Structure formats: structure tokens, C-alpha cells
């Protein structure tokens, strides 16, 4: 049954239900026993009439239309920016609160951009749209928040190793198919991503600003971190790179704090961050890996060490890994819905 007995519980919708994030949204709602009166699933006309399992029952996928969204209380959107720009305002007008996984509304001043472990207070006074941040922003800064509060991070350098899932289910399939083709000695023409993906690494597939040289992904990460931390003056630079990994991003972080700090103090703060697990075993050379982060709710953090290029003792280097589809997208969105 897709319905629970509670009359007060909301009617929820997943928009983009058949996608990589959409499927995880459905799984998160089920796993976390999210209180629901009814769950409705929307995707494009291509998927209308297919079914997806929820709480042991097949649920029918509906074509997304403005009329179809009537009666929905909470809508979790993950169907791309164009679909969000068109349908999110319609859903809000129809009375729904929307948690939007696209970048369409993230930087609008009256739209909260929320990581529940960091800035849940931003939800207060929302006007119907709450934005789910960029996956790399979430994975990079959830471990850093307690450290930032104890000793302000004044400068942050981010280098990402991003998985296929951020580009959707089709990109994950491209990684599988092109790897198979490579191993079989066959040629494979990329269809989703702009470059050969198997056994390759390339700069993020978003467009590059001709003046600054930063790509859109890097710009999002930099702007969104400043917004979530409510720290417009934070100096940030990002380099975003796609690696042939299915669903967990790894990120190298270099940060400079306002005052000197020890590795031991940083390890305590980062290890104590909600939603974070320390994986920092120098003896075994065991640190965060996308393989270990895949399918996990927690972000893995480790390789915490003094940045020796800064003799002032204010700089640290570390390495994190987090599941892009979970904490980087679906889990964070469901956590926001739980807060509502
Ligand atoms: P569909 O499977 O019917 O194409 P991903 O991020 O993995 O590529 O998934 C994108 C999701 O967004 C899918 O569920 C896809 O549905 C959905 N989607 C794409 N375009 C539209 C649209 N115009 N209207 C509604 N859903 C859409």
C-alpha cells in the first residue's frame, strides 16, 4: 500500500521518479519510514504507466502535468533544471512545498539552500521552494561545519573526483557500457558525456566561462558554499573533474583558518560532525574511498593533515568521499522534508 493510516500525513510526490536520484528518493522515503498519506510518482510521458516498487507494492508512474500536481503537499523534484523552472512554480501555486534538487532556484535570495546538519534555521519563512544544494557542496562542507564554527575557514580549495551519477542514470550506463566495450577492444562513441569515460578523467562536462575559465559546476560549488555557510566573504576556488566511478564523489580539500589549529583538534571536530564518519588510518594507508562511500548515508572524512605549505599552522588538507545519490542528493532532500 502506498497509503498510511495517518490523516495528518502529507501527500508526497517524487518528480523525476525514474531517474537515478528519483529512485533513491523513493528508497529513502521507504527506508526512513517517512510519514505519508500517499506517494505519487511523476516522470516524462516516456515513462507514464510504468511502475516502481514502494513499500512492497508497484506504484504507477504518471506523466508530469500541471493538473497532475494538484493535491500534492510535498514535492521532491529531481528532473533537471528545465523541468523545475517550468513546473516548480506551478506546484507551489497549487499549494505544494517543493524541495528542488536542480540548480534552478538555488541562488535566489528568498529560496533557502539547506543542508540540515548545517543551516536548518534557513528553512524558517520559506516561500514554498527549498533548494537542495549541489552534491559536491554538500559532501565537501558537511564535515567542515563544526570546524568552521570553531575556527572560521577563510580560504577553501576544492578539487573533486566526481562520479557518473551526477550526470544521471544515462551517464552511469555510459560508464558501464564504455568500460565493457574498452575491455572487449571495441570502439564506443560517447553519447551522454563529451569525452570517452572508460579509463579516463576529464574536466567537468558543464560549460566553461570564457572570461574566468571556471566551469558551471565549479561556480555553483563556490557560490553555494558561501550561501549555506552564510559567509559571503569566504575565499573559495574549485576544480571539478569527472572520474570513472559510478555513484560516489571524492573531494580533496585544502583550507586556511583564521587561527592556527592542530591536526588532533581538527580530527575531533570533523569526526564529530553529524552525518560524518572518520576514516583516517595512516598505519594501514586506509582513507575515504568512493567504493566504501557508495550506498552509505555517512560522508567519509580522513587524510587530515597539516598543510605544510603554510608555515603559520592555519592550514589543513583532507580528503572526503560521499554517495552522490544519497547525501549528495536524495538523502539530503528527504532530511529537509523531515524537518518540514
Ligand atoms: P524519464 O525517465 O521518463 O525520462 P536522470 O537524472 O537519471 O537522467 O533522470 C531524470 C529524470 O527526470 C527521469 O525520471 C526523467 O523521466 C525525468 N524527466 C526528464 N524530463 C522530464 C520532463 N520533461 N517531464 C517530467 N520528467 C522528466
**Residue among 194, 225, 198 at smallest CA distance from 208:** 194
| CATH 2.60.120.260 is held by the domain 3-133+329-339 | no
Q: Note whether 254 and 315 are within 8 A (CB).
A: yes
**What is the residue with the minimal CA distance to atom 14 of ligand 1?**
16
Catalytic residues, by residue number, are: 135, 249
Q: Provide the pLDDT for residue 5.
A: 45
Would you state the pLDDT for residue 6? 46
- 83 contacts 98 by C-beta, under 8 angstroms: no
305 DSSP 8-state letter: E
Topology of domain 139-324, CATH: Dihydrodipicolinate Reductase; domain 2 (3.30.360)
Which band of pLDDT confidence, cut at 50, 70 and 90, is reported for residue 7?
Answer: low
Alpha carbon of 189 to ligand 1 centroid (Å): 23
Is the per-residue pLDDT at 2 higher than 70? no
C-alpha span between 99 and 215 (Å, rounded): 25
How far is ligand 1, taken at its centre, from the CA of residue 64, in Å? 10
Contact 91, 73 (CB under 8 A): no
pLDDT given for residue 82 in this prediction: 98
Cell of 196: 570517452
Q: By C-alpha distance, which of 309, 97, 318, 115 is closest to 230?
A: 115
pLDDT over threshold 70, residue 1: no
Residue to mutate (ligand 1; options 79, 166, 168, 169; most atoms within 8 A of CB): 79
pLDDT value for 260: 98
Q: What is the mean pLDDT of residues 322-339?
A: 98
Mapping DSSP to helix (H, G, I), strand (E, B) and coil, where does residue 237 land?
Answer: strand
Got the DSSP string for 22-79? HHHHHHHHHHTT---SEEEEEE-GGGTT-EEEETTEEEEEEE--TGGGTT-SEEEE-S
What residue spans define the domains of the chain? 3-133+329-339, 139-324
Amino acid at each position: 500500500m502506498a497509503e498510511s493510516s495517518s490523516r495528518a500525513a502529507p501527500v508526497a510526490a517524487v518528480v523525476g521518479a525514474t531517474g537515478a536520484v528519483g529512485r533513491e528518493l523513493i528508497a529513502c522515503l521507504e527506508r526512513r519510514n517517512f510519514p505519508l498519506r500517499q506517494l505519487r510518482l511523476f516522470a516524462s510521458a516516456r515513462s507514464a504507466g510504468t511502475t516502481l516498487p514502494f513499500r512492497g507494492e508497484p506504484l504507477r508512474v504518471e506523466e508530469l502535468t500541471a493538473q497532475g500536481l494538484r493535491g500534492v503537499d510535498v514535492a521532491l523534484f529531481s528532473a533537471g533544471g528545465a523541468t523545475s523552472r517550468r513546473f516548480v512554480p506551478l506546484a507551489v501555486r497549487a499549494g505544494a512545498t517543493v524541495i528542488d534538487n536542480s540548480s534552478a532556484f538555488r541562488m535566489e535570495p528568498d529560496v533557502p539552500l539547506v543542508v540540515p546538519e548545517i543551516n536548518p534555521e534557513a528553512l524558517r519563512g520559506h516561500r514554498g521552494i527549498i533548494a537542495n544544494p549541489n552534491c559536491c557542496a554538500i559532501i565537501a562542507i558537511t564535515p567542515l561545519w563544526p570546524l568552521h564554527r570553531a575556527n572560521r575557514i577563510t580560504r577553501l580549495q576544492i578539487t573533486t573526483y566526481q562520479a557518473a551519477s551526477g550526470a544521471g542514470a544515462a551517464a552511469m550506463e555510459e560508464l558501464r557500457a564504455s568500460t565493457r566495450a574498452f575491455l572487449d577492444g571495441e570502439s564506443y562513441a560517447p553519447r551522454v558525456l563529451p569525452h570517452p569515460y572508460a579509463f579516463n578523467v576529464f574536466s567537468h562536462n558543464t560549460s566553461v566561462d570564457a572570461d574566468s575559465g571556471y566551469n558551471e559546476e565549479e561556480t555553483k560549488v563556490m557560490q553555494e558554499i558561501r550561501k549555506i555557510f552564510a559567509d559571503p566573504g569566504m575565499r573559495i576556488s574549485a576544480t571539478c573533474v569527472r572520474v570513472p566511478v559510478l555513484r560516489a564523489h571524492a573531494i580533496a580539500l585544502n583550507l586556511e583558518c583564521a587561527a592556527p589549529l592542530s591536526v588532533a583538534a581538527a580530527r575531533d571536530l570533523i569526526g564529530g560532525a553529524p552525518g560524518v564518519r572518520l576514516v583516517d588510518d595512516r598505519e594501514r594507508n586506509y582513507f575515504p574511498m568512493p567504493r566504501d562511500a557508495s550506498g552509505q548515508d555517512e560522508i567519509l572524512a580522513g587524510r587530515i593533515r597539516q598543510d605544510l605549505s603554510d608555515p603559520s599552522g592555519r592550514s589543513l588538507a583532507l580528503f572526503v568521499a560521499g554517495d552522490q545519490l544519497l547525501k549528495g542528493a536524495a538523502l539530503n532532500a528527504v532530511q529537509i522534508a523531515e524537518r518540514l
